[in-house]
């Protein structure tokens, strides 16, 4: 019988209950026991919701207090020594210290590195290995959560990050030995855990191996075969889950794994079904991900049913599971809460709950025939047709302008000429200091913003409050001695949503929250139609800030690729076409900022590397249109206007030629958690433009010391020339408190001055 299944459910709760519980605990207002109780409530509600929707394989251990990769590291006993030796910390404190760092005076500890989970906007904690690493089963979380669900009358399928993907995502911080060298020791722990799960009564276990969709070396493919020969017979039936793309050259490896079932992503890898059906052995069941787990549009159920029918014709109904393409971690919980969306648009959408309803509908159609769900199939068909024919999705003027983009619109004068002109206009010192853009969003600011939405304050009162905040931020920056200032972005709720609210073709939810990392949640806009900019979006606030100071103030914009990547994007048009429309809107804004007297404009593109396809064979085409979109957005200004861009969590080694082709005057990047290791890439190429390697980890509450920042700057100067180096934090300061920001900025400026003075002395 066909099984309706799920790979993972959002862990934050429908009203961000996890976020609130975490932040209460971190603030010292709740105990570890109270946090654990809140977590149990969320898990139970998730299981009950899925059971009520008719899902038969319900995941457990997909919940995490911070990150599932960090959970796996802790489960395997992979705790970096700087945390392990702090015997004064209990397990919960150590877990959060690993994720967030530890602000503890002179003995503060840097957090573990954080980076993007494949090509999503979810962040994972990078496991740290060293040659002396000892692995052990250090956590019973997967067993405990299975038993927790079982006690509530729900039999679940525990989810584990697979051993190969864990190692391929890890780093060996003190040795060149590849993490996969630890495979035998890791498999021993996994075998022990699978035996415990079997003893607890687990019938199925899901081992996530998303690295199967990457370009794997032959020895890595052989490691997969060896690993699952060992694990496939350890007790529970094993489902290996691949997702985020097609298996490509790894299909033969995956099909041959000695396991009970294999999951295929048929949304991003639709073409892999036919070759998989040709090769699937009689012992192997297929889990088919036909519902998009990463976007919010209703599925084409007719097309999905056709694929599933073909699969069951080949392998039989008892060897097919129906599922979303990947974990539903990447979409909001329930469309039912979105009472403010207009009915037409709402009818085009499906969140996690609705996606599982689609899974159930398809399972019923396969079991009992399409007539059993004729109403549901007809409703989905009608919704897609209404969306296809709706005039609100297309604007002829926008499309004409997009098709009129020419090569000369992407060009500026050579960087060397621009640098000289900008130096004369801006008159900055060596190692100029700045921030990435945002300053703390205080409780008072959030309260006034909520009062505006509720009608308790008027627009004039709200704007006056913002002007006061901006002026205080400018005075603080002048006092601390920053060289290029920012207005603080107090008017912005989110770096994408703020702009989307002022562009055509965007829609917004009330409760469409998605976890980015830990307690950090984002509410991605929905791009449903053609995009244009009816009016200036940021000029008022940038011009006001510039009027307060003789120092240059940056105009702050979000770039077109990041707007695209951090939204739920329409799936009825090519992504590159939507990106060009976004670039033209940002281009208009840069023109208006320059006309208002802004001489430094930052166009943030933190998602450019994130959007890179997972297979190298597709990189060149993506990078061509993505980088050209940035150039289209940034190339309309005069040569003496300085263009900055910011990118975080970006490994540039393999795309450095395209990073250079961006041709931003100043590129700021995240480097503090990785101890400037990213700069090695710049040492291997003749990169001439300026670089601001982050010297302060803004995702940790720890306040950096000037001496530590100075050491990082000296490391940077081993790679970069003094006239190339800028000094800035890793990212915006929106999530930090002023009590942390003030001393951190003082330390950063002091370190920059000390290094600047030493350069003068040496000269």
Q: What is the mean pLDDT of the chain?
A: 94
Cβ distance 403 to 618 under 8 Å? Answer: no
pLDDT for residue 594:
97
Active-site annotation holds for 403: no
DSSP line for 370-403: GGGGHHHHHHHHHHHHHHHH-GGG--HHHHHHHH
For residue 683, what pLDDT is reported?
73
Joined together, the tokens standing for residue 738 give 């002023």
pLDDT (mean) for 204-216? 98
Instruction: Summarize the confidence of residues 674-692 as an average pLDDT.
Output: 78
In the chain, % helix, strand, coil (3-state, to 5) comes to 50, 15, 40
Instruction: Report the distance separating Cα 132 and Cα 33, nearest Å.
Output: 34
pLDDT at res. 494: 84
Q: Is the pLDDT of residue 22 over 60?
A: yes
pLDDT of 24 > 90? The answer is yes
Predicted confidence band of residue 648 (pLDDT cuts 50, 70, 90): confident
Q: How far apart are CA 356 and CA 360, in angstroms?
A: 6
Which residue out of 25, 68, 263, 699 is catalytically annotated?
A: 699
pLDDT, tens only, 461-517: 999 999 999 999 999 999 999 999 999 999 998 889 999 999 999 999 999 999 999
* pLDDT number for residue 673: 62
Q: What is the DSSP letter of 102?
A: B
Please determine, for residue 106, whether its predicted confidence score (pLDDT) is greater than 60.
no
**Three-class SS state of 633:** helix
What pLDDT does residue 157 have? 98
Q: What's the CA gap between 196 and 190, in Å, rounded?
A: 10
Mean pLDDT computed over 595-603: 97
CB atoms within 10 A of CB 119: 18
Look at residue 635 in the predicted model and tell me its pLDDT. Answer: 96
Point out the least confidently predicted range of 95-104, 244-253, 521-530. Answer: 95-104
Q: Is 201 exposed, middle or buried (0-12, 13-18, 19+ CB in 10 A)?
A: exposed
H or E segment to which residue 116 belongs:
strand 114-116
Torsion of CA 452, 455, 461, 464, to 10 degrees: 10
Q: Which two tokens stand for residue 264?
A: 């295929």
Q: Is the pLDDT of residue 287 over 90?
A: yes
How far is C-alpha 706 from the chain's CA centre? 30
Tell me what the mean pLDDT of segment 285-300 comes to.
Answer: 98
What's the average model confidence in pLDDT over 513-534? 96
What is the Rg, in whole angstroms, of the alpha carbon atoms belonging to the chain? 26
Q: pLDDT tens digit string along 310-336?
A: 999 999 999 999 999 999 999 999 999
Ranges of H-type helices in 390-537 = 396-403, 415-426, 443-454, 459-480, 497-500
Kindly state the average pLDDT of the residues 423-435.
95
Over residues 425-435, the mean pLDDT reads 95
- Under the banding of pLDDT at 50, 70 and 90, the label for residue 675 is low
Integer Cα distance of 467 and 516 in angstroms: 30
Q: Tell me the sheet residues that pair with 521.
A: 515
Q: Give the model's pLDDT for residue 62.
A: 98
pLDDT higher than threshold 60 for residue 649 = no
Residue 652, pLDDT above cutoff 80: no
CB neighbours of residue 177 within 10 Å: 12
Question: Which of 73-77, 230-234, 482-486, 643-647 is predicted least confidently?
Answer: 230-234
Tokens of 445: 């600011």
Q: What is the model's pLDDT at position 174? A: 73
Strand blocks (E) in 215-327: 237-241, 261-265, 285-291, 320-324
Q: What is the pLDDT of residue 532?
A: 97
Q: Give residue 135's pLDDT.
A: 96
How far is residue 579's CA from residue 569's CA, in Å, rounded to a whole number? 10
Domain covering 3-390 assigned CATH 3.90.1300.10 in the classification: no
> Is-contact 378 342, C-beta < 8 A?
no
- Residue percentage of the chain with pLDDT more than 70: 98
Contact call for residues 168 and 179 (beta carbons, < 8 A): yes
- Residue 759: predicted pLDDT: 87
Measured at the alpha carbon of residue 557, what is the angle toward residues 552 and 563, in degrees to the nearest 5? 165
Identify the pLDDT of residue 105.
62
What residue segments make up the domains of the chain, in order of their start? 3-390
- Mean pLDDT, rounded, for 180-205: 96
Rounded average pLDDT over 141-147: 98
Distance of CA 521 to the CA centre of its chain: 10
Q: DSSP 3-state assignment of 425?
A: helix
Give residue 481's region: left, alpha or beta (phi > 0; psi -120 to 50): left
Q: Identify the weakest region by mean pLDDT among 56-60, 303-307, 653-657.
A: 653-657
**83 is written with which tokens?**
């945390």
């Amino acid at each position: 019988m066909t099984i309706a299944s799920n790979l993972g459910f959002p862990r934050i709760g429908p009203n961000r209950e996890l976020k609130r519980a975490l932040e209460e605990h971190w603030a010292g207002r709740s105990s570890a026991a109270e946090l654990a109780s809140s977590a149990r409530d969320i898990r139970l509600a998730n299981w009950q919701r899925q059971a009520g929707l008719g899902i038969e394989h319900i995941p457990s251990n997909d919940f995490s207090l911070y990150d599932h990769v960090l959970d796996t590291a802790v489960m395997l006993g992979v705790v970096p020594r700087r945390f392990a030796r702090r015997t004064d910390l209990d397990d919960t404190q150590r877990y959060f210290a690993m994720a967030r760092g530890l602000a503890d005076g002179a003995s503060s500890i840097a957090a573990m590195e954080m980076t993007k989970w494949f090509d999503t906007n979810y962040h994972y904690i990078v496991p740290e290995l060293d040659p002396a690493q000892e692995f052990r089963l250090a956590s019973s979380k997967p067993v405990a959560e299975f038993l927790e669900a079982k006690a509530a009358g729900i039999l679940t399928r525990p989810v584990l990050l697979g051993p190969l993907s864990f190692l391929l995502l890890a780093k060996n911080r003190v040795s060149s030995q590849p993490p996969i060298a630890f495979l035998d020791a890791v498999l021993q722990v996994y075998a022990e855990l699978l035996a415990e799960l079997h003893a607890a009564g687990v019938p199925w276990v899901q081992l996530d191996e998303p690295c199967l969709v990457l370009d794997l070396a032959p020895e890595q493919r052989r490691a997969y075969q060896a690993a699952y020969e060992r694990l496939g017979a350890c007790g529970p039936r094993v489902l290996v889950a691949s997702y985020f793309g097609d298996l490509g050259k790894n299909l033969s490896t995956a099909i041959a794994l000695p396991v009970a079932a294999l999951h295929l992503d048929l949304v991003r890898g639709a073409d892999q079904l036919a070759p998989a059906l040709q090769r699937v052995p009689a012992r192997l069941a297929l889990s088919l991900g036909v519902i998009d787990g990463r976007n919010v549009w209703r599925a084409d159920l007719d097309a999905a049913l056709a694929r599933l029918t073909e699969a069951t014709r080949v392998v039989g109904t008892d060897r097919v599971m129906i599922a979303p393409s990947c974990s539903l971690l990447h979409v909001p919980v329930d469309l039912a809460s979105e009472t403010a969306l207009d009915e037409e648009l709402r009818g085009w959408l499906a969140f996690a709950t609705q996606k599982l309803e689609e899974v159930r509908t398809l399972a019923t159609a396969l079991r009992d025939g399409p007539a059993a769900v004729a109403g549901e199939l007809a409703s989905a068909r009608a919704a897609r047709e209404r969306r296809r024919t709706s005039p609100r999705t297309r604007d002829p003027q926008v499309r004409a302008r997009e098709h009129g983009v020419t090569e000369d619109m992407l060009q500026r004068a050579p960087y060397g000429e621009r640098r000289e002109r900008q130096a004369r206009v801006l008159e900055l010192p060596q190692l100029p200091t700045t921030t990435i853009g945002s300053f703390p969003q205080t409780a008072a600011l959030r309260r006034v913003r909520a009062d505006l939405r509720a009608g308790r304050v008027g627009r004039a009162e709200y704007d006056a409050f913002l002007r006061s905040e901006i002026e205080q931020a400018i005075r603080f920056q002048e006092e601390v001695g920053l060289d290029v200032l920012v207005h603080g972005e107090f008017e912005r709720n989110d770096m994408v949503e703020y702009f989307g609210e002022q562009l055509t073709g965007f829609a917004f939810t009330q409760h469409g929250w998605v976890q980015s990392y830990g307690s950090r949640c984002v509410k991605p806009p929905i791009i449903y139609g053609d995009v244009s900019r009816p009016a200036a979006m940021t000029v008022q606030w940038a011009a006001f800030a510039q009027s307060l100071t003789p120092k240059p103030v940056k105009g702050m914009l979000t770039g077109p690729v990041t707007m695209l990547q951090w939204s739920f994007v329409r799936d009825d048009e090519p992504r590159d076409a939507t990106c060009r429309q976004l670039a033209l809107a940002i281009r208009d804004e840069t023109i208006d900022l320059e006309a208002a007297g802004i001489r430094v404009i930052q166009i943030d593109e933190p998602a450019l590397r994130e959007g890179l396809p997972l297979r190298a064979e597709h990189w060149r085409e993506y990078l061509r249109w993505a980088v050209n979109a940035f150039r289209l957005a940034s190339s309309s200004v005069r040569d003496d206007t300085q263009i900055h861009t910011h990118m975080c969590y970006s490994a540039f080694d393999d795309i450095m030629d395209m990073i250079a082709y961006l041709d931003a005057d100043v590129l700021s990047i995240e480097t503090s958690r990785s101890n400037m290791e990213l700069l090695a890439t710049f040492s291997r190429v003749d990169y001439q433009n300026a670089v601001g390697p982050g010297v302060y980890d803004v995702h940790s509450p720890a306040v950096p010391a000037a001496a530590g920042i100075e050491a990082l700057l000296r490391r940077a100067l081993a790679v970069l020339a003094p006239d190339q180096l800028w000094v800035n934090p890793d990212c915006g300061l929106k999530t930090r408190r002023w009590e942390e920001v003030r001393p951190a900025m003082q330390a950063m400026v002091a370190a920059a001055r000390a290094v600047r003075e030493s350069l003068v002395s040496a000269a």
